[in-house]
């Protein structure tokens, strides 16, 4: 079962394409091809399931059905009607359409989604006298329309809800970080998954939880369902074997990932999210003001996503915050690797450290820079792992 090969496209966030490509290679995909915000390859049903269940930096796993040139809405309608939708839908199933458009020919993605829906509904009505219903929240089949200039690709979305919605984070603080972005940041840091890991401004705990999932090799898809589970060709036995193999690779670790925040409510939320992720034994959250604590961390990785604030200029709070972050890193974290994500590029310059890497990433609609600051030691003192308890 599931031996037929077909094209699979996995979408991701801007700047994470190379990490996603590496993830795909690690699960056995041969020659995955980099695209803009996506990676494509040829695989079978098993790989479709594995991508959804195991990938940390994928957003959607798409199965393209048709690609064609299109210049008008009427032409789009006609070409969508050429697809035999009875292979994927019937009148007892529900569906939804998600559309994205780039270029000057088509500028209204919602109208493109509506036109696609009309073409599908009309095909069923003409053939059967009835039509499948729309269900935006939980459709049986989710259809993705992607138009770049005059090229249109129609795909089935096997993920359903985006893969960034793992399912464990039902509580969150203001401006939470996407699970996919957090995982991408960790994988970009080249953390060895065995040494100290610390997020000193953890908010709802996303970075620390994702780090614990990565260290233990816990698959990120174990907390939710996927769109392919309601497809005509869903192979429950194959999917069960995919899950069992992924779970068999979970490993025990002899250290705990650390996260702290000065907000008591944030710590409570982070701990609750960790419990839902079934990772509490591997991650600890504690209340602390990063700028006033002295943990003396001399190896491992520290990743943080500090407030971005307004543009630097008269904003004394942001100026003093970023300067203090730099001072704290230099004083108490020599020997560690620090990575900082910020949408305030001017503020990053106030850290006062030389960045070894500068990576462009997007946090939602905010263009950010992800800077790597190696915190070199002044002497060859013995490395000491951080030990923080509640």
- Residue 387 has a pLDDT of 39
* Domain match, 153 and 34 both: yes
Distance CA 83, CA 257 (A): 50
CATH number for 19: 3.30.2130.30
Helices marked H in 132-286: 179-188, 206-216, 236-248, 264-276
- Residue 381 has a pLDDT of 41
Backbone angles phi, psi at 225, to 5 degrees: -110, 170
For residue 104, tell me if it sits in a domain.
yes
* Domain match, 30 and 131 both: yes
- Residue 323 has a pLDDT of 95
| Burial (0-12, 13-18, 19+ Cβ within 10 Å), 226 | buried
For residue 228, tell me if it sits in a domain.
no
pTM of the model: 0.92
- Residue 390 has a pLDDT of 35
- Residue 311 has a pLDDT of 56
Query: pLDDT means per 10 residues in the chain (390 residues)?
Result: 83 97 96 95 98 98 97 96 97 96 90 96 96 95 96 97 94 82 97 95 96 98 97 97 98 94 96 96 96 84 91 72 95 94 93 95 94 76 39
For residue 230, tell me if it sits in a domain.
no
For residue 284, tell me if it sits in a domain.
yes
* Domain match, 286 and 335 both: yes
* Domain match, 193 and 272 both: yes
Distance CA 3, CA 75 (A): 34
Give pairs for 26-29: CB < 8 Å, separation 24+: 27/51, 27/54, 27/55
* Domain match, 273 and 139 both: no
For residue 226, tell me if it sits in a domain.
no
Nearest Cα residue to 183 out of 209, 159, 158, 202 = 209
Number of domains in the chain: 2
**Domain span including residue 339:** 179-218+251-374
For residue 13, tell me if it sits in a domain.
yes
- Residue 176 has a pLDDT of 77
């Amino acid at each position: 079962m599931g031996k037929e090969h077909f094209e699979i496209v996995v979408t991701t966030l801007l700047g994470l394409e190379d990490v996603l490509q590496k993830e795909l290679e690690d699960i056995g995909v041969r020659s995955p091809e980099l695209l803009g915000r996506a990676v494509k390859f040829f695989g079978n049903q098993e790989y479709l399931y594995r991508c959804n269940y195991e990938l940390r930096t994928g957003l959607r796993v798409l199965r393209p059905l048709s690609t064609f040139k299109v210049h008008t809405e009427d032409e789009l309608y006609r070409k969508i009607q050429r697809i035999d939708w009875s292979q994927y839908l019937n009148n007892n199933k529900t569906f939804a359409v998600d559309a994205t458009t780039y270029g000057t020919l088509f500028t209204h993605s919602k109208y493109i989604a509506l036109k696609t829906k009309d073409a599908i509904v009309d095909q069923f009505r003409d053939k059967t006298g009835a039509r499948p219903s729309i269900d935006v929240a939980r459709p049986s089949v989710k259809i993705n329309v992607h138009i770049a200039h005059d090229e249109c690709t129609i795909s089935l979305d096997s993920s359903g809800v985006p893969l960034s919605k793992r399912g464990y984070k039902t509580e969150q603080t203001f401006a939470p970080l996407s699970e996919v972005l957090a995982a991408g940041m960790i994988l970009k840091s080249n953390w060895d998954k065995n040494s100290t890991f610390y997020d000193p401004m953890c908010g709802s705990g996303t970075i620390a939880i994702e780090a614990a999932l990565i260290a233990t090799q816990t698959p990120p898809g174990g907390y939710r369902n996927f769109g392919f589970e309601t497809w005509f060709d869903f192979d429950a036995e194959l999917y069960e074997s995919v899950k069992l193999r992924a779970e068999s690779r979970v490993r025990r670790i002899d250290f705990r990932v650390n996260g702290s925040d000065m907000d008591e409510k944030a710590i409570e939320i982070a701990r609750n999210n960790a419990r839902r992720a079934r990772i509490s034994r591997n991650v600890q959250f504690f209340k602390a003001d990063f700028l006033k604590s002295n943990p003396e961390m001399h190896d491992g990785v520290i990743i943080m996503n500090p407030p971005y604030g307004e543009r630097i200029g008269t904003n004394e709070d942001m100026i003093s915050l970023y300067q203090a972050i730099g001072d704290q890193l230099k004083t108490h974290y020599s020997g560690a690797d620090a990575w900082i994500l910020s949408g305030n590029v001017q503020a990053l310059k106030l850290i006062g450290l030389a960045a070894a890497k500068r990576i462009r990433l997007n946090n939602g609609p905010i263009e950010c820079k992800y800077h790597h600051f190696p915190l070199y030691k002044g002497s060859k003192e013995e490395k000491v792992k951080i030990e923080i308890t509640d």
